[in-house]
Structure formats: C-alpha cells, structure tokens
C-alpha cells in the first residue's frame, strides 16, 4: 500500500450550535471514467473506483481518508467493467465488482481491517445468481449486507447476505425499471431499505422502500417519482443537517442526488412527516459551475472523538481529468452530533 498526501482547502461556517468544518480533497493519483463508491468503516472514510488498467476491464483501487493523509491501495486480482459497489456492516467492509465475463456476474470482496481485501465469491444463492451490466449497489445494516442491481432487461433485483450466505429474491422489485446499463442505489433510513433508480428515458428518478427485514417482493411500497434529468445512476445517502426553526438542532435526513445534463449535482430531501420528496440545496458545500458527468456518492456517520460525538458528511465525485478519465474529489463536512 502506498502513501499519498492530499491537498485540503478548509473553511469554517456555522450551520447550528457548535462548529462545522468543511474541507475538500483531491486524490491526484485516482483517475477513473466511472463514478466513485463511498462508505465508512471503523470511523474512516473509504472510497473505491475503477482504475485505468485494461481496455474492457479495470483494476479496482481504494483510498482511506483518516486525518490529513490518505492510504491508497489496489485489490489484487479484482477487475470490473463498471463502477464498484461499496458498503460496510458492523464487522466487515464489502466491495462488489462486475468482472469481464460472459455471464455478467457480480463478485464480492470483503475486508475486516479496511486495508486487506479477500475474494468472497459471486453473488449467488442455491437457486440463482445476480446478472448485471451496471454498477451494483450495497448497503449495510448491522451484520446484514443488502445488494441491488439492474438486470440485463432493466428490472431491479435485490438480495441479502447473512452469515456468509446470499439470499436472492425470486422476483425483482415491483414497478421498478431502468436502463440495463444503469445501476440502482441503496440507503437505510429509519428502519427501512430505500432503493432509487433512473427511468429508462432519463427524465425522472423513482424511489421506493420496504420495512426491514424485507420478506418478499410484496414488501416494497409504491414508487415515488421525482423529476430529475440525468444519464447516470442516482445516489442515496443519510446525512446530518440542521433542522428548521428559530433554534435549529442537527438531525439525520435522507437525501437523493443526481448528475444533470449540464454537469451539476442536484438534490432532493425526504420528508417522512408527509412522505414526500422536496427539492433541496446541496447538503455539502460544492463549488459553482460544472462538476462531473458521472454518478456521485455520499453518506454520513457519527463517531466519538475525545468522548465527544462528532458527525461527518462525505460526498465524492469524479471531476476534471485527463481525456475520458477524471480525478476523484472528496468533500466533507464535520461537526457536533445532534
């Protein structure tokens, strides 16, 4: 594993009682033509991306952000034709790839320390295997790993990984259809599993959810459609933000993000009180102007520092770069917990 120093541009801005620090980092050695994957593991931010090696398949790289420096590594033997998926459970960090094979399978890798990944095997149960032409989505809940993917005909399949065993739903998510080459996204919020996908015409994003545990395809609610023009997969994430009112306090909220045709990033926020999505400013400060042509990734987490609870919101995207390959950017907001 190599060591890489990143350049940080930091500024302080107040959004609620306490402090809030905003920072931006670029990983100069990280170039990709796909969007990044983002997760937290053991209070460390982890990014993963499809590297430059190979014509049809690319090596898989990752970086861990902890303090003012970054450790960068490569997963031995891992090849992917699309962006990887990334998520953590209570015990492990998981990464999913789409290897260059005729079966369009999904391979899983796991790490118990966030630095050394081992091959777990394909995403298969005793009856079937996941097949996809796009980046798979992962989300962790305690010791359980959830996965979703777009099938070669545009449906969205899903599965759970418990005690080292996959269980793939016999039927895809009802009323969910996307482009075969565009994957879905997953997030966990208020004991529900949310999944979002881009409409085949690229003019809207739909979101549905199911109470945990997801028992069958009938568990999923009726999808809610949001007007959102894009050509790449959307993103879902839970972030800590100020609440409304004269004395705002921090709270966790579910956000939907998407990349627009003019290369900007737009957001919507879920209001559980009225069960509706509403347009939102960026929950993490972003520079003006065009930012990316690829899918973005964001999430948030809390941890203790010197016996004080701290939250961190992360957003990653591929910005300017060389030719069709773009440098990886990470923006973070850190502050006191709710």
Instruction: Please report the domains of the chain, with CATH numbers, ordered by start residue.
Output: 2-336 (2.120.10.70)
Mean pLDDT of 269-279: 95
Cis peptide leading into residue 213 (ω within 30°)? yes
**pLDDT exceeds cutoff 80 at 190:** yes
Are 95 and 46 a contacting pair, CB within 8 Å? no
Q: Give dist(CA 79, CA 94) in Å, integer.
A: 15
**What pLDDT sits at residue 18?**
44
| First-to-final CA distance of the chain | 36
**pLDDT exceeds cutoff 60 at 65:** yes
Tokens representing 298? 């964001």
> Which is nearest to 147 in space by CA: 179, 193, 83, 182?
193
CA 293 to chain CA mean position, Å:
16
> Which is nearest to 97 in space by CA: 111, 81, 112?
81
Of 318 and 195, the structure prediction assigns the larger pLDDT to: 195
132-159 tens-digit pLDDT: 999 999 999 999 999 999 999 999 999 9
**What pLDDT sits at residue 165?**
97
12-52 tens-digit pLDDT: 233 333 446 767 666 656 677 788 999 999 889 999 999 87
- pTM for the model stands at 0.90
Q: Give dist(CA 120, CA 98) in Å, integer.
A: 14
* Neighbour count for residue 184 (Cβ, 10 Å): 28
Concatenating the DSSP letter of every residue in 212-277 gives SS--SGGGS---EEEE---SS--EEEEEEEEPSSSS--EEEEEEEEEE-TTS-EEEEEEETTTTEE
**What pLDDT sits at residue 146?**
98
**pLDDT exceeds cutoff 50 at 251:** yes
Of 301 and 69, the structure prediction assigns the larger pLDDT to: 301
- Residue 97 zone, left/alpha/beta (φ > 0; ψ -120 to 50; rest): beta
Mean pLDDT of 293-321: 84
What long-range pairs does 278-281 form, CB within 8 A, spacing at least 24? 280/255
């Amino acid at each position: 594993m190599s060591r890489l120093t990143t350049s940080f541009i930091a500024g302080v801005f107040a959004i609620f009682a306490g402090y809030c620090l905003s920072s931006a980092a670029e990983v100069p050695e990280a170039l990709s033509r796909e969007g990044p994957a983002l997760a937290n593991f053991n209070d460390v931010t982890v990014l993963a991306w499809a590297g430059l090696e190979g014509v049809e398949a690319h090596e898989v790289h990752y970086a861990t952000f902890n303090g003012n420096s970054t450790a960068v590594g490569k997963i031995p033997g891992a090849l992917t034709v699309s962006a990887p998926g990334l998520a953590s459970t209570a015990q492990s960090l998981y990464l999913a790839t789409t290897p260059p094979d005729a079966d369009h399978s999904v391979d899983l890798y796991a790490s118990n320390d966030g630095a050394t990944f081992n091959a777990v095997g394909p995403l298969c149960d005793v009856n079937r295997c996941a097949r996809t032409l796009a980046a798979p989505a992962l989300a962790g809940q305690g010791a359980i790993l959830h996965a979703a993917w777009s099938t070669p005909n545009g449906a969205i399949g899903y599965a759970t990984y418990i005690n080292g065993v996959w269980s793939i739903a016999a039927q895809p998510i009802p009323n969910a259809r996307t482009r075969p080459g565009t994957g879905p996204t997953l997030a966990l919020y208020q004991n529900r599993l949310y999944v979002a996908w881009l409409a085949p015409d690229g003019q809207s994003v739909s979101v549905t959810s199911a109470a945990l545990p997801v028992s069958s395809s009938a568990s999923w609610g009726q999808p809610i459609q949001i007007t959102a023009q894009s050509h790449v997969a959307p993103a879902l994430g839970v972030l800590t933000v100020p609440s409304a009112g004269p004395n705002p306090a921090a709270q966790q909220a579910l956000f939907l993000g998407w990349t627009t045709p003019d290369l900007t990033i737009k957001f919507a926020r879920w209001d559980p009180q009225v069960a509706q999505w509403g347009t939102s400013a960026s929950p993490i400060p972003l520079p003006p102007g065009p930012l990316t042509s690829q899918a973005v990734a964001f999430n948030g987490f809390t941890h203790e520092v010197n016996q004080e609870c701290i939250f961190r919101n992360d957003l990653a995207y591929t910005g300017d770069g060389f030719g069709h390959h773009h440098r990886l950017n990470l923006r973070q907001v850190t502050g006191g917990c709710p």
